[in-house]
Amino acid sequence: MTETTPKKTRGARRSEDSRTAILKATREELIENGWRKFSVDRVAKRARASKQTIYRWWPSIGTICVEAALELIPEGSGSGRDATEKIAELIAPVEQALRVGSGHAVLHGALVAACDEKEAGDRWRMWQREHIRMPLRNILAEIASKNVIRRDFDVDLAMDILIGPIVHRVVLLRAPLPEGFSGRQAEAMIKQLAP
């Protein structure tokens, strides 16, 4: 959920049906029209929801798109045995979501929204910090404690290297990811660490 639930004593509660229908309609809208021609009016119509309901619960249009896309990304398995596997697992869920059904179209639209709109970007970066940056920092720290590591290497640079190629392929080129992309990216990352 986007908003912190306000303490209230009376009145109807937020409708879960509406929330679900709106996010579903958002995905359909992204598939059919992309970010450029995205229309709140159409989403409301499609979800049989009032526009008021949309504006009440989400801070911006792009945020809805990001949120709708994030629902497609599964939880990571966390079963990696070495550093390379652990890193690969960080982006594997994204790769997986991209390959299922219309996942590519939805994620494309949502990521463009995140690029275009400040608040949607914030929402995406929040997720990325929690699901990628934080675990990645732990993994890198662990490596650093055992091996020698380049000094000019920080987590943000690592993220650029890890995620950048995906964004380039999916968002800028609108092309599918080649097989075994996340594995290869993880290996590349490890290679970079040597001083």
* Footprint of DNA (CB under 7 A): 6, 8-15, 17-19, 21, 37-42, 44, 47-53, 55-57, 60-61
Stretch 29-48 residues interacting with a second copy (CB under 8 A) = 34-36
Question: Which candidate, 25, 13, 27, places its Cα nearest to that of 57?
Answer: 13
Binding part of the chain for a second copy, among 63-71, 81-89, 98-106, 164-172 by CB under 8 A, reads 164-172
Binding pattern to a second copy, positions 116-155, x when CB under 8 A? xxx--x--xx--------------------------x---
Of 72, 161, 84, nearest in space to 108 by CA: 72
Minimum distance of a second copy from residue 191's CB (angstroms): 5
39-47, 75-83, 138-146, 171-179 -> range binding a second copy (CB under 8 A): 171-179
Which partner from the list DNA, a second copy, none does 52 bind, CB cut-off 5 to 8 Å by kind? DNA
Q: How many residues bind a second copy (CB under 8 A)?
A: 37
Q: Are 126 and 100 in contact (CB under 8 A)?
A: no
Run of H or E residues at 171: none
Q: CB 128 → DNA: shortest distance, Å?
A: 24
What stretches of the chain show up as alpha helix (H) in DSSP? 16-33, 40-46, 51-57, 61-70, 83-99, 103-116, 118-128, 134-146, 155-167, 181-193
Direct distance between the N- and C-terminal alpha carbons of the chain, in angstroms, rounded to an integer: 43
Distances (CA, A) of 182 to 7, 66, 86, 129, 179: 43, 21, 11, 18, 9
Binding site for a second copy (CB under 8 A): 34-36, 108, 111-112, 114-118, 121, 124-125, 152, 156-157, 159-161, 163-169, 171-175, 178, 184, 188, 191-192
